[in-house]
Amino acid sequence: MPQSKNQKRGILLPPAVGYSLQILFNLVRKNKIPPKYYLRLVAVTIINLINWPFRNYERLFINPKYRRAGTEEEPVFILGHWRSGTTHLHNLLCQDNQMGYTTTFQSVFPDTLFNIAGRFIFKNFTKLLIPGTRKGDNVRLDPSLPQEEEFALGDKTPICYYYYWMFPQKIIEYYNRFVRFEGIPRKQQLAWESDYKLLIEKSLINSGGQRFLSKNPTNTARIKVILDMYPNAKFIHIHRNPVEVFLSMRNFFKKMLPPLQMQSIEQDELDDHTFTIYKNLMKDYFDQRGLIPAGNLVELSFDALEENPEAILKDIYKKLNLTGFDGALPNFQSYLNKMGDYNKNKHYISKIQLQRVQDEWGFAIDQLGYEFPQNIEILD
């Protein structure tokens, strides 16, 4: 989203404020939390306890009717490594009124959505606390705006890659377990899939859409699982120059990790994790994209979307056989006209970092057809 002129200050808290108590306690039990994060843990626990009766009421008396619902239009899943333009594409496509999506509020409080009292309390609480923009990239924040659904997918079933925002030392472990589902019992995975479908149905009702539009970079390596859930699902993969991805990830972690983490991590270790995750995610994507039925996948670059957004959007609708482009075009144009206020971050890279990107991510650079971006300065 465009940078907001409203520079409202606020605070971010770990997403566990809306999780089940069992999930929260298990996360605390299985991870070492240094004393300097105890106050944050206390705050998360207090909010979680206050939310407990509201989310349990919704789970017992409201969720069952949505579990019986069935998505009529096949969902569209936006794929791509983090910092590759997935947020921009998601926000842009959400200007089409037919698209339903998970909101920021729902991503944190997925089971305090249709409970009137709980929604009133916690949505206003979220509005009060949430910053006006996201520190990592100046993207506007608001409880009602589109958000990726991964934050909410571990609220009841203990499968969520984004647990790493709280416990960054386990990024690799969480990727193998919660993205590749290594060592996850089949029964638990099926429960996660059921929770995901429930989240989608509730998202459609909450946002008023007919077709769910997912933005969840983690799904870039979950194509097989998504196809098991929705065999005719449609996919859009957006990619960006890997050099820019690395630098943007570094900046994003630097600004976004501090308010969310409950475990410390050194920058060198975080860089190592970034290199490993990119390799794993892109290799998993290249291995699985052939499973997608013909006509259900569009691949595009972030640069192409920036240079000619209307043509790219029209091409997406045509290739995926989506209706409604002409009706949504005025909304797309209005949104794009507001993007003039968006401030990009300027990046620099050292020779050592550049060499490592070329050595470890060369397979993706070659397959995606990238060269060194001219807008980045190389430092000695």
Phi, psi torsion values for 296, nearest 5 degrees: -110, 10
Contact 227, 287 (CB under 8 A): no
Model pLDDT, residue 132: 65
Tens of pLDDT, residues 305-336:
999 999 999 999 999 999 999 999 999 999 99
**Distances from the Cα of 231 to the Cα of 177, 234, 294, 296, 348, angstroms:** 23, 9, 12, 10, 42
Reply yes or no on whether the pLDDT at 368 is more than 90.
yes
The ranges assigned to domains in the chain are 15-340
Q: Considering the chain, what percentage of its residues have pLDDT values greater than 70? A: 93
Sorting pLDDT into bands at 50, 70 and 90, what band is 140? confident
> Which pair of structure tokens corresponds to residue 100?
């339903």
Model pLDDT, residue 68: 74
pTM above 0.85, yes or no: yes
Describe the crossing of helices 242-256 and 267-288 by its angle, rounded to 10 degrees: 130
Reply yes or no on whether the pLDDT at 55 is more than 50.
yes
Model pLDDT, residue 138: 60
**pLDDT (average), residues 48-59:** 96
CA distance 185 to 77: 25
In three state form, how does the secondary structure of 320-355 look?
A: CCCCCHHHHHHHHHHHHHHHHHCCCCCCEEEHHHHH
Report the phi/psi class of residue 361: left, alpha or beta, with left for phi > 0 and alpha for psi in -120 to 50. alpha
Which SS3 state, helix, strand or coil, does residue 44 take? Answer: helix
Tens of pLDDT, residues 202-261:
999 999 999 999 999 999 999 999 999 999 999 999 999 999 999 999 999 999 999 999
Q: Residue 262 has what DSSP assignment?
A: S
Task: Please state whether beta strands 234-239 and 76-79 pair in parallel, antiparallel, or not at all (unpaired).
Answer: parallel
* Class of the CATH domain delimited by 15-340: alpha beta
Sorting pLDDT into bands at 50, 70 and 90, what band is 126? confident
